[in-house]
Amino acid sequence: MIRTILLATALSLPAASLSAPALAQAESAVQPATLSLSATGEVRIAPDLAVVSAGAVTRGDSAAEALQANSRLMNQVFGALDRAGIAERDRQTSNLSVNPVYANDDNRSMSPRGQREGPRIVGYEARNTVTAIVRDLDDLGETIDALVENGANQLQGVEFSTEDPSEARNEARRRAIAELNALKDLYAEAAGFEVIALHSMSESGGMRPQPMMMRAESYAMDAATPVASGELTVSVTVSATWRIED
């Protein structure tokens, strides 16, 4: 899929009524006429890996109690990753926190000065999230099930990606540049000017990952959780400016 956007066109000609000395000075100061365009090339590819974020949330009367309970669950989560064959290099703790939990009421005591006291702490909450790369998509559903069955009570989602998008990105570049050149020739022919030289060129873009939001639930699983990987879109936008003459 190719999408194009006209950024800017500019034609500048010196005034014919100037005297010879003034004309020479004006010509040196006038910016050259330019044509600026951009085009986007897109390539769709199948993902070859998935990034899963899962973890545990626990509460306790003290920060230590909440963290200890969390550690027990996360040890089970890491054990599930071991059994699923997820390498150490493909897992990373992405969030670890312990925070107070406050009472959600207005029954707070009054200070001697007649002011309500600050929020009342009723416990502590610990959160720990690990991000893991699943390189065999055929095992993705079973891996998700194993995490939920072994300690993970938070499943923040799955994001599909690819190990090496360079080939697809280069093809997107070729498509964008081909469209850019076709547009440049079209404008030159339709407007009646000549393209002299390429002045500048730049690119932007990347890969749009395929996210899939999920949540953790505890229930009996007769089959692995079904997961659809879909496709990824690799896009590159190329912008260029040419010097032109009438």
Query: What is the structure's pLDDT at 16?
Result: 41
Residue ranges in the chain assigned as alpha helix (H): 20-29, 63-83, 140-149, 166-191
Q: Confirm if 46 and 165 have CB atoms less than 8 A apart.
A: no
- Give Dmax over CA atoms of the chain in angstroms: 91
Distances (CA, A) of 99 to 96, 126, 127, 130, 244: 10, 7, 9, 18, 63
Q: Confirm if 61 and 124 have CB atoms less than 8 A apart.
A: yes
pLDDT band at 113 (very low <50, low <70, confident <90, very high): low
For range 108-137, the mean pLDDT: 84
The three-state DSSP-derived secondary structure of 158-172 is EEEECCCCHHHHHHH
Percentage of the chain with pLDDT > 90? 68
User: How many CB atoms are closer than 10 A to CB 62?
Assistant: 11
Supply the CATH classification number for the domain 49-161.
3.30.70.2970
Q: Is the pLDDT of residue 29 over 90?
A: no
Q: Is the pLDDT of residue 30 over 90?
A: no
Q: Is the pLDDT of residue 79 over 60?
A: yes
Q: Where are the domains of the chain?
A: 1-14+30-46+163-246, 49-161
Q: What is the pLDDT of residues 181-222, one digit of tens each?
A: 999 999 999 999 999 999 999 999 877 665 555 454 443 345
Between 92 and 228, whose confidence is greater?
92
Among 31-35, 103-107, 112-116, 220-224, name the one with the lowest average pLDDT. 220-224
Query: What is the structure's pLDDT at 38?
Result: 98
Report the half-sphere exposure of 192 (CA within 13 A, side-chain side).
0
Q: Is the pLDDT of residue 23 over 60?
A: no
Query: What is the structure's pLDDT at 118?
Result: 72
Residue 22's contacts (CB-CB under 8 Å, 6 or more residues apart) are: none
Q: Is the pLDDT of residue 52 over 70?
A: yes
- Global confidence as pTM: 0.70
Q: Is the pLDDT of residue 63 over 60?
A: yes
| Residue (of 157, 155, 130, 153) closest to 59 by Cα position | 153
Q: Is the pLDDT of residue 121 over 70?
A: yes
For range 168-186, the mean pLDDT: 98
Query: What is the structure's pLDDT at 200?
Result: 97
pLDDT band at 227 (very low <50, low <70, confident <90, very high): confident
Q: Confirm if 26 and 59 have CB atoms less than 8 A apart.
A: no
Specify the fold of 1-14+30-46+163-246: Translation Initiation Factor IF3 (3.30.110)
Q: Is the pLDDT of residue 111 over 80?
A: no
Chain centre to alpha carbon of residue 25: 51
User: How big is the chain by its Cα radius of gyration, in Å?
Assistant: 30
28 by DSSP, 3-state: which?
helix
Query: What is the structure's pLDDT at 106?
Result: 59
Distances (CA, A) of 189 to 180, 194, 241: 14, 8, 17
Query: What is the structure's pLDDT at 112?
Result: 61
Query: What is the structure's pLDDT at 153?
Result: 97
Percentage of the chain with pLDDT > 70? 76
Supply the mean pLDDT for the chain: 85
Q: Is the pLDDT of residue 17 over 90?
A: no
